Structure 1
Amino acid sequence: MNALQLSYQLARRFRKSQHHSGFMGFMAKSSSLGIILGVAVLILALSVVNGFQQQLVERLLALVPHVEYVAADTPIDNWQAKRKQLAEQDAVASAAPFVAANAMAQYRGELAAAQLRGIVPEFESQVSIADEFIDGKPLAQLAGNELIIGQQLAKQLAVNIGDDITLLMSDVTNKSKGLSAPIRIQGRVVAMLNSHGPLDKQLIYLPMSRLQSAFSMADHQVTGLRVTLHDVFAAQTQAMAIGRTLSDYVYVNSWIRTQGSLYADIQMVRTIVYLSVFLIIAVASFNIVSSLFMEVKEKQSAIAILRTMGASDFVIMHAFLLQGVVSALFAIIVGIVIGVLLAMNITELFAWWSAFIGENKLAGVYFIDFLPSQIHWQDIVAIAVIALVITVLASIYPAWQASKVDPAKVLGN
């Protein structure tokens, strides 16, 4: 039997003897339980953070513009050719024109601030997935005096599908210093946008021709061009490079400016989760130090006898080191299984809990009303490796102390 096999056999014997020692067994189980909980909670927390990031991309960033080029002083002319020019850029997935305006929406004496978005449905459908969140007439069929209004805005105005509302806008084409009467246009609500996000509180879609006519703009003029990118997270770096292809003087806006704080919050939560839960794993791992030190103290006689029988420092040290590693491996595997099972079912568990308490804590707070989850296997591998490394480092010192037991001092007493 070689040294490694002997170390393994000794580790098995020592581990079995732990179960017969009440306090030692309790210490070993508590340290393993701490690692199990730490690994499971970290996998669950990271999966939820990954889920929020995925939903940010698939929901919110599929609705809000990735990049916008907004006219500074005068409208953008010949938008058809410039839209095509932008769409042909390698980094661009699609592009669409728009006319934007701030307005007050009025219905039966109720007033609410709104952001008007004059669109060409054919092109808007290429840059937005708004149709997936619209109840009523689809975006592609929007025409005439029809409006699609955010659900929260409709609720504020007490508007239902089929109602006619008035939109009040300032005359932005009036260059004189005097005050002018607001521009009024009528529209019929044919659908509602229900994306569970900030857009529901203020956005109104209407055909672009309505706003062009209201502001006395030509058919070839718009206030901005919207671009959807292949890589949404490259918006900040690519926005300026793409915008340089336009000859107009424009302001450049990206989702990083408008929604970037939400993405930054998600990344901050990810960092906090990593730090806090790894501290839990570290504390649980160092509990192994305590249990191994106590076991070394308890088994000093056995260690001394083994030393007198010719067991080397290598054999003794690796026997105790293997004990810590095996305990950690078992705890890590169990923690991974529990964490993955929880992450796979957390959406249903949250829905059940919300139904049980009669309240959804996410409704109206975030851009989704459910708890998302997405498992990244690279996260699981990283968690397992780091937890194992921490445990091995925590086990080295007590194992080294076991190899330094002096048989003469122990057996001589």
Structure 2
Amino acid sequence: MAIKLTTLPYEIFVGLRYTRAKRRNHFISFISMTSMIGIGLGVAALIIVLSVMNGFQEELRSRILGVASHMQISGVDNKLADWPILAKEVEHAPHVQAVAPYIMAQGMLSYGQSVQGAIVRGVLPVDEDRVADLGRHMRAGKLTDLKEGEFGIVLGAELAQSLGVILGDKVVVLAPQGQFTPTGIVPRIKQFRVVGIFQIGMYEYDAGLALIHMADAAKLYRMGSDVSGVRLKLDDLFAAPRVTTALVAQLQGKGNYYISDWTEQHANFFRAVQMEKRVMFIILALIVAVAAFNIVSTLVMAVTDKRADIAIMRTFGASPSSIMQIFIVQGALIGVIGTVFGAIFGVVIALNIETIVPFIERTLGIQFLAKDVYYISELPSHLLWGDVAVITVMSFILSLLATLYPSWRAARINPAEALRYE
């Protein structure tokens, strides 16, 4: 059964009545509407911006982990002799899904008159595809085209462009570890054929990483049966610090290993992204605060306009706390309506931003993130309902705080003074 408005406590009833426009207080109603719109826009902007920043963070994390592993165990002096035993021991550890050996070294790549330095990583293609998502970022060729003894090489897109090579071209790789000859130290040189080109979207990798088969890397860098380390993939990438701690305890006393995870390898980068997100939250929260405190001016004018009404209610026995509650209800209603509509608008935009932005770009004939400037050419969005909850609660609390001073002033009005000139 519907509840009649008159069954509500009279403080709520009067507060709701004051929110509606009357013939002599249209300006106050206009200020109330402005406050609602301001709060709504602030809440929506905060939700949309945080969702976009979450999207960027997720996109960058996925691109970085497309090349870098969740964890890696490396040996002293870049050599790990007992890696098959180590790999078998750690692959059964909690959260570990896959293990892959690798050889990491520096090299100089030459093609024609172009020379570029790069990190050369020797991998086993099948195992590497299990610990990283590099296979799905291939622009040309396949990672499995790296075959033992055929001396194939897979280059980052920027590195290939700098050298001016395409599939099938042959590049010369110079290893800094030289060999002694009667004429001096001569660097080891080997010719590799380009069998693939990948593009992660991170300049660090696209311009400075080359992949070759691990057996070919062992021959070029004279590693023998040793490797630089093993890379691990986890079922939960956020469990990496806990797994690192567990493996350090498990492998203690079994050799000299250095264990690191993605949170350590890219700690400064992700801290910077997180710090930027917090700063943006504070800045946009101030916008919501400014809009919320517009309620103060609205209620101050409402209190001035309703002095006679307040005096009459006091004369009929209304307590100061009841008068205060009336104006708290009026201000809180403004905050609730603005917050709810802002949250709905922000959620709708955040969930559809990947459709809305291309539509705006096509309509206006512009591109917000040009492919030749930014590596992420689409605006990503990842809505977290926890963020929405925090923003809406914060907005409501700010709105509620903004009602306290005007409501307190209304409760202090002296009935005799208010009715003297009426």
From 393, 396, 403, the counterpart of 1:388 = 396
The Cα of 1:210 is off from its aligned counterpart by 0.4
The Cα of 1:72 is off from its aligned counterpart by 2.2
- The separation in 1 between residues aligned to 2:89 and 2:146, in whole angstroms, is 26
Question: 1:126-275 to 2 correspondence within 5 Å?
Answer: 126-143=130-147, 144-171=150-177, 180-197=185-202, 198-218=204-224, 220-236=225-241, 238-239=243-244, 241-243=246-248, 245=251, 247-275=254-282
Contact kept in structure 1, 2:175 and 2:188, CA below 8 Å:
yes
Moved over 4 A (4+): 1-4, 352-360, 362-367
* CA spacing shift, 1:75–1:146, aligned 2, 3 Å: same
- Residue type of the alignment partner of 1:11: G
Q: Residue deviations 1:144-170, cap 9 Å, x none?
A: 222111001011111111211111111
Contact kept in structure 2, 1:148 and 1:205, CA below 8 Å:
yes
Q: Residue deviations 1:26-73, cap 9 Å, x none?
A: 321222122111100110111112112222333322321222233323
Point out the more displaced range, 340-349 or 270-279. Answer: 340-349
The Cα of 1:215 is off from its aligned counterpart by 2.6
Contact kept in structure 2, 1:196 and 1:363, CA below 8 Å:
no
Question: 1:7-406 to 2 correspondence within 5 Å?
Answer: 7-17=11-21, 21-73=25-77, 75-143=79-147, 144-171=150-177, 180-197=185-202, 198-218=204-224, 220-236=225-241, 238-239=243-244, 241-243=246-248, 245=251, 247-352=254-359, 356=364, 358-359=366-367, 361=369, 363=371, 368-406=376-414
Contact kept in structure 2, 1:153 and 1:200, CA below 8 Å:
yes
* CA spacing shift, 1:73–1:11, aligned 2, 3 Å: closer
Q: How many residues align?
A: 410
- Residue type of the alignment partner of 1:391: S
- Residue type of the alignment partner of 2:124: V
- Residue type of the alignment partner of 2:25: S
The Cα of 1:18 is off from its aligned counterpart by 5.6
Give percent identity, aligned residues only. Answer: 30
Q: Secondary structure at the match of 1:180?
A: strand
| TM-score normalized with structure 2 length | 0.89
The Cα of 1:363 is off from its aligned counterpart by 4.3
- Residue type of the alignment partner of 2:351: M
| TM-score normalized with structure 1 length | 0.91
- The separation in 1 between residues aligned to 2:92 and 2:122, in whole angstroms, is 23
- The separation in 2 between residues aligned to 1:2 and 1:311, in whole angstroms, is 17
Q: Secondary structure at the match of 2:266?
A: helix
The Cα of 1:330 is off from its aligned counterpart by 0.6
| Match in the other structure for 1:410 | 418
Q: Secondary structure at the match of 2:98?
A: strand
The Cα of 1:359 is off from its aligned counterpart by 4.9
* CA spacing shift, 1:60–1:404, aligned 2, 3 Å: same
* CA spacing shift, 1:388–1:359, aligned 2, 3 Å: closer
* Structure 2 unaligned residues grouped into runs of 5+: none
Point out the more displaced range, 241-250 or 386-395. Answer: 241-250
* CA spacing shift, 1:301–1:360, aligned 2, 3 Å: closer
- The separation in 1 between residues aligned to 2:238 and 2:374, in whole angstroms, is 20
- The separation in 1 between residues aligned to 2:312 and 2:7, in whole angstroms, is 17
- The separation in 1 between residues aligned to 2:361 and 2:25, in whole angstroms, is 44
The Cα of 1:303 is off from its aligned counterpart by 1.1
* Structure 1 unaligned residues grouped into runs of 5+: none
- The separation in 1 between residues aligned to 2:184 and 2:359, in whole angstroms, is 56
* CA spacing shift, 1:332–1:214, aligned 2, 3 Å: same
The Cα of 1:190 is off from its aligned counterpart by 1.6
Provide the aligned C-alpha RMSD in A: 2.6
* CA spacing shift, 1:38–1:120, aligned 2, 3 Å: same
Q: Residue deviations 1:269-312, cap 9 Å, x none?
A: 12112211111111111110111011101110111112222333
- Residue type of the alignment partner of 2:163: L
Contact kept in structure 2, 1:146 and 1:206, CA below 8 Å:
yes
